[in-house]
A and B are shown apart, each in its own frame.
Chain A
Amino acid sequence: MKKSVWSMCGMCTVRCPIRVEVEGNTPTWIEGNQHILKGALCAKGSAGPALVADKERPQQPLIRKGGRGAGRWEAVSWEFALDYVADKLTAIIDRHGPEAIMASSRGGPFQDLVKAFTHAMGSPNYTNHDSACGRNVHHASISLFGLGRKGFIYDIKNAKHLVLFGRNILSSLRPAEVNQVMDMLDKGGRLTYVDVRQTLTGIKATNFFQVRPGTDYALALALIHEIIKAEGYDADFVERYTTGFDELAYFVENYSAEWAAKECGIKAKDIHELVGQLIADRPKVVFHPGWMLSRYNDSFYASRALNCLNALMGNIEVEGGLIFAKGAGDCGGKGPRSLTELSPKPTAKRADGVGEVYKQFEKGPGLFHLFYKAMATSKPYPIKGIICVRHDPFACFPDPKAQKEALDNCDLIVSIDTHYSEFGWYADVILPESTYLERDSMIALQKGMKPRLVMRNKAIEAQANTRDLYSIIKGLATRLGLDEYFPHNTMQDLWAWQLEPTGFSLADFEKKGFVEYADKPVLYDRDKLDGKFKTPSGKIEIISQKLGEWGFPSWKPYESPPKPPKGQYRLVFGRSPIHAHSHTINNPLLNELMPQNTLWINTREGGKMGIAEGDLVDVISGDVTSVVIAKLTDFIHPEAVYTVHGFGRQIPLQTRAYHAGMSDQKLMKGQLQNMDPVGGGLNLCETFVAVRKSSKNHQRKREL
């Protein structure tokens, strides 16, 4: 009997809407939801059933037998595992208080459950991966617009010009967004791409700038300078909705195109040409402020400058520009209930110091890496228990060795995940979550021009002894006496409770797999945007009051990034369209297409070291050496070497991924606390590595 199920992909955190066909208990066909994606799906999406069938993911709860990381596990029942974790949590709470427990999960629409559980225990210490991702962009956006990075939708499809600084948008692969870019290009729109290397995105560009690593801010400042000088900005918009324009004009006075050309290693005439195009294309120009921009120590200011360029273009709330993300309230509706409404708000201060020591950072998920400080020093208080849900800090943050040292102060480390994570391998307990095709998830609201409710329905029953996240959390909550905060016994009950205020019912999802609050895109009146910017002044604060109060400049004078010493290179990383970072490296079908990564080296630099394409090279940082295959290309800046993130995994049970390729974060020695002080993002591209031809290259072709 064949059935069709509306659901949501879980191969990466884009979470595309999908339709799954199932025969028996086997998914036979997955496609992108026709109503949104017209069937489109990426390689990862089609590799979902291979994940379900893969026996190299945890098949039942596991409790550590040997030392941490030794890889000796005892398979136990769910009852035993949940009792074990609950007992340990209780012991920590009794001895150190509930705030000694922290939990982390993926950002996005489903954080509610883990956050609610953390709060229900009485701990304020909920966090996520974002300090290695979008924190700089988020905080830069707040400082300017009073809205986070998801406060705007980029109407790329209708833009005339899209400007990307290191945002490899076509490989990072959000299918809906990618199709917008392709539609824009089909309609004759221009794409400007800035990066230290050429990418699959850059090959589609009208203008390409290969800049010296770490100089994005310089180029952005020069664009501001030249646009102001040419009076090419939207003067009415700037006058009406911004503060601090004159200070900005004064600040950028010395940052001319000629200056930036020298700093970035590009041509001044190309910058001038770009400025001419931008002025002609205004206001339908989108400056992407960055997504994963935890890179350089001025990434916060680079993102701020890019968003400021959006304001100068006057592209807010216009077709082909930045559109305010609308919620249920903008359509006269009500959003779904969240579980955090039920738990009391913890009174203890956060252990990461966010909101207290670090007033510049939004409380929300705080900053994960700062918890390691608390673990290591017991200040402001000890952290003794950690639960990571579908989040692998060892794959995500620098220097796993330093992380392990901090974690050794914990009495309990729990990994809840669908696959073996590097963190999970070091944990005390692995609670295996069912894959996205085998689990229901909570209903979530997606803001947008047409806000909608989305949900994930399980397509099949679990094929191993795994559980969905709600059952796992509920199982722990019951044992901890916190049942009242998780009163729903089934997902159906939970969904019905969530939907109650919205006026929608589950039946409303049957037609398309989602529910929309509006038939047409909702736009504000562009002449009445007052109050829409949630800054203290209600305007776009080019000079931010709050940054000033906290003692940070709104514009940091540009500092030229250091050049790597001789024989060393700046290590940069990125992603391929085939893998979702470390999550998918061991997936049989994706591993077949891309089993390992390489080290991109500028052809000339490779030549100097006697390295040929395909040679093995040693990549060295402190006491860490990785061996990887070299790829030589003319189209990477000579100061940089590049690799695809997520490889170099060291979990023996993942036979396909085991020691395949190199891991960039393991080479980031001593960088765990190297963060942007204003943006909170980690500086993940501030590591220099030595490169040499490896002695592991085969000298002899034949066995003696």
Chain B
Amino acid sequence: MNTYTLYLNSKRCIGCHGCVVHCKANKGLPVGPILCEISHERLKSVRGVPKTEFKFRSCYHCEDPFCVTICPTGAMKKREDGIVYVDAPKCIGCMACAGACPWGIPQHNPETNKAVKCDYCMDRLDAGLQPACVTKCTTHALKLVAMKEI
């Protein structure tokens, strides 16, 4: 059972893409890998006002992740709280994970030649903090939500 999910209040999101850079800066990523994305549909007129809604996407942290199964070195792991993450020292950068993922979520870091992906900033979570994208979201539109079984 996954413990967390990232929720975007699209009413508050202004599409500034701050989250994308907060994430990259926190992980020290070079140009290339992007671990979360903000997207929107083309504008449509709603009662005279052209509108659209923003969507946020990062890793879905699948219940049964293909990326973990396919990883030849056991570098891709799933924690007990559901977080799917890369154990970097074990990663050989073969990127089989990206091929196995239906959404191509794992990204290649050209500087380290290893896979990198959203891990909800688990080092920060473990230190009692929030993920970078949530902490610094320009309009406080992103939230890390703990899921409960009903």
Residues of A in contact with B (beta carbons under 8 Å apart): 29-32, 38-47, 49-50, 170-171, 173, 175, 178-179, 182, 185-186, 198, 200, 202-208, 270, 577-578, 588-593, 633-635
Q: Measured between C-beta atoms, what is the minimum distance from A75 to chain B in Å?
A: 27
Q: Contacts A577-B16, A578-B16, A578-B17 given: A173-B138 contact, CB under 8 Å?
A: yes
The docked-state distance in angstroms from the alpha carbon of A179 to that of B13 is: 10
- Contacting pair A40 B140 (CB below 8 A): yes
Q: Contacts A205-B49, A207-B49 given: A593-B139 contact, CB under 8 Å?
A: no
Q: Which of A39, A47, A198 contacts B135 (CB 8 A)?
A: A39
- Contacting pair A200 B15 (CB below 8 A): yes
Q: Contacts A40-B140, A41-B138, A198-B43 given: A589-B15 contact, CB under 8 Å?
A: no
Q: Which of A29, A47, A178 contacts B139 (CB 8 A)?
A: A178
- Contacting pair B12 A186 (CB below 8 A): yes
- Contacting pair B43 A43 (CB below 8 A): no
Q: Measured between C-beta atoms, what is the minimum distance from B25 to chain A in Å?
A: 4
The docked-state distance in angstroms from the alpha carbon of A50 to that of B43 is: 33
17 additional contacts, CB 8 Å, given A171-B14, A171-B16, A208-B49?
A40-B139, A40-B140, A42-B138, A43-B17, A49-B25, A182-B12, A182-B14, A182-B139, A185-B11, A198-B43, A198-B50, A200-B15, A200-B16, A202-B50, A203-B51, A206-B49, A591-B31
- Contacting pair A39 B20 (CB below 8 A): no
- Contacting pair A178 B138 (CB below 8 A): yes
Render B1-33 as a binary contact track against A, CB cut-off 8 A, 1 for contact: 000000000011011111011101110001110
The docked-state distance in angstroms from the alpha carbon of A39 to that of B103 is: 31
Q: Which of B20, B31, B135 contacts A31 (CB 8 A)?
A: B135
Q: 6 closest Cβ contacts across the A-B interface?
A: A577-B16, A43-B21, A46-B25, A46-B21, A208-B49, A198-B50
Mind listing 29 A-B residue pairs with CB under 8 Å?
A38-B140, A41-B18, A41-B22, A42-B18, A43-B16, A43-B18, A43-B20, A43-B21, A45-B18, A45-B136, A46-B21, A46-B136, A50-B25, A173-B14, A178-B14, A182-B12, A182-B14, A186-B11, A200-B14, A203-B43, A207-B48, A207-B49, A270-B48, A577-B14, A577-B15, A577-B16, A577-B17, A592-B34, A593-B17
The docked-state distance in angstroms from the alpha carbon of A171 to that of B16 is: 7
Chain B residue nearest to A587 (CB atoms) is B21
Q: Contacts A29-B26, A208-B48 given: A179-B20 contact, CB under 8 Å?
A: no
Q: Which of A43, A49, A179, A589 has the most CB of B within 10 A?
A: A43
Q: Which of B11, B25, B32 contacts A30 (CB 8 A)?
A: B25
Q: Measured between C-beta atoms, what is the minimum distance from B122 to chain A in Å?
A: 16
Q: Measured between C-beta atoms, what is the minimum distance from A635 to chain B in Å?
A: 5
Q: Which of B12, B18, B34 has the most CB of A within 10 A?
A: B18
Residues of B in contact with A (beta carbons under 8 Å apart): 11-12, 14-18, 20-22, 24-26, 30-32, 34, 43, 48-52, 135-141
Q: Measured between C-beta atoms, what is the minimum distance from A521 to chain B in Å?
A: 22
Q: Measured between C-beta atoms, what is the minimum distance from B23 to chain A in Å?
A: 9
- Contacting pair B43 A633 (CB below 8 A): yes
Q: Measured between C-beta atoms, what is the minimum distance from A352 to chain B in Å?
A: 37
| Residues of A with C-beta under 8 A to B32 | 592
| Residues of B with C-beta under 8 A to A588 | 30-31
| Residues of A with C-beta under 8 A to B49 | 202-203, 205-208
Q: Contacts A179-B139, A203-B52 given: A593-B21 contact, CB under 8 Å?
A: yes
Q: Measured between C-beta atoms, what is the minimum distance from B128 to chain A in Å?
A: 14
- Contacting pair A40 B136 (CB below 8 A): yes
| Residues of B with C-beta under 8 A to A39 | 135-136
Q: Measured between C-beta atoms, what is the minimum distance from B126 to chain A in Å?
A: 16
| Residues of A with C-beta under 8 A to B140 | 38, 40, 179
| Residues of A with C-beta under 8 A to B18 | 41-43, 45-46, 577
| Residues of A with C-beta under 8 A to B22 | 41, 43, 46
The docked-state distance in angstroms from the alpha carbon of A205 to that of B48 is: 10
Q: Measured between C-beta atoms, what is the minimum distance from B123 to chain A in Å?
A: 12
- Contacting pair B31 A592 (CB below 8 A): yes
The docked-state distance in angstroms from the alpha carbon of A178 to that of B50 is: 20
Q: Measured between C-beta atoms, what is the minimum distance from A469 to chain B in Å?
A: 26
| Residues of B with C-beta under 8 A to A198 | 43, 50
| Residues of A with C-beta under 8 A to B141 | 182
Q: Measured between C-beta atoms, what is the minimum distance from A49 to chain B in Å?
A: 6
Q: Which of B16, B34, B135 contacts A42 (CB 8 A)?
A: B16
Q: Measured between C-beta atoms, what is the minimum distance from B148 to chain A in Å?
A: 25
Chain B residue nearest to A197 (CB atoms) is B50
Q: Contacts A203-B49, A593-B21 given: A173-B135 contact, CB under 8 Å?
A: no
| Residues of B with C-beta under 8 A to A206 | 49
The docked-state distance in angstroms from the alpha carbon of A39 to that of B144 is: 15
Q: Measured between C-beta atoms, what is the minimum distance from A9 to chain B in Å?
A: 12
The docked-state distance in angstroms from the alpha carbon of A633 to that of B31 is: 30
Q: Measured between C-beta atoms, what is the minimum distance from A347 to chain B in Å?
A: 48
| Residues of A with C-beta under 8 A to B51 | 203
- Contacting pair A32 B136 (CB below 8 A): yes
Q: Which of B24, B50, B136, B139 contacts A589 (CB 8 A)?
A: B24
Q: Which of A31, A270, A592 contacts B136 (CB 8 A)?
A: A31
| Residues of A with C-beta under 8 A to B14 | 170-171, 173, 178, 182, 200, 204, 577
The docked-state distance in angstroms from the alpha carbon of A185 to that of B141 is: 13
- Contacting pair B43 A635 (CB below 8 A): yes
Chain B residue nearest to A208 (CB atoms) is B49
Chain B residue nearest to A193 (CB atoms) is B49
Q: Which of A47, A185, A207 contacts B25 (CB 8 A)?
A: A47
The docked-state distance in angstroms from the alpha carbon of A592 to that of B11 is: 26
The docked-state distance in angstroms from the alpha carbon of A43 to that of B138 is: 8
Q: Contacts A170-B14, A198-B43, A208-B48 given: A589-B138 contact, CB under 8 Å?
A: no
- Contacting pair B138 A40 (CB below 8 A): yes
Q: Which of A29, A202, A590 contacts B21 (CB 8 A)?
A: A590
